[in-house]
Amino acid sequence: GIMAILIRLGGMKFAYGLLSLIVPYFYIFSPKARRAAAEYWKIRSPQMSFWQRQWRIINQFYIFAQILVDRVAQGLAKAPLFVSSRQGNIEAVRSSLEHGRGLILVGAHFGGWDIAAAMIKIRNLGRRLHMVVFEGGAVYQHSAVNSEDEGSKILWQNGKDLPIFQFKEILARGEI
């Protein structure tokens, strides 16, 4: 999309700078998101004044927008752009895979699944990656997982079938 073009032309700092224009626009023209964030901050920090809450909401939107830019940038990159502060986690994944054991990684964090998949692929940690992605009730395929070429699969969750049964079949076949 347009953010990918802007990142290619101007870099990450340029894209982050543009968020200074995009986030206030989103704040003004997305009343549902603003109200939901205001409710969160009222519960989380009831001592905050109205104006303190509004500043927190804008900051929260900016951080979420940065995550979206990061996701696009990592999708464009051929090498890891981000360093894990928990390097031991990468070593645990590597060790398990080197010993012929598979892994089931479960995550439900905003922006985390596609960046995690990119890190696994870029670091050559595994050739078989099976992903179930729940995001707003929909499932998205990401370019970090090439489902046919590398033996990786995205398990499509349609709201009716439970992915646990798909995982059970994968485990029975010895794919993980």
Using one digit for the tens of pLDDT, what is the confidence trace for 95-126? 877 777 666 666 655 556 666 666 666 666 65
Using one digit for the tens of pLDDT, what is the confidence trace for 18-75? 999 999 999 999 999 999 999 999 999 999 999 999 999 999 999 999 988 988 888 7
CA dihedral 23, 79, 77, 130 (to 10 degrees): -90
Work out the average pLDDT over 162-176.
72
What's residue 176's pLDDT? 64
Question: What is the rounded distance in angstroms from the CA atom of residue 88 to the CA atom of residue 95?
Answer: 10
pLDDT higher at 172 or 72: 72
What's residue 95's pLDDT? 81
CB 74 within 8 A of CB 118: yes
Sequence-distant (≥ 6) Cβ neighbours of residue 137 within 8 angstroms: 159
Structure tokens that stand for 167 in this block:
């995982």
Surface-to-core class of residue 4, CB atoms within 10 Å of its CB (0-12 exposed, 13-18 middle, 19+ buried): middle
Task: For CA atoms 115, 116, 117, 118, give the dihedral sign.
Answer: positive
Where does the pLDDT of residue 137 fall: very low under 50, low under 70, confident under 90, or very high at 90 and above? very low
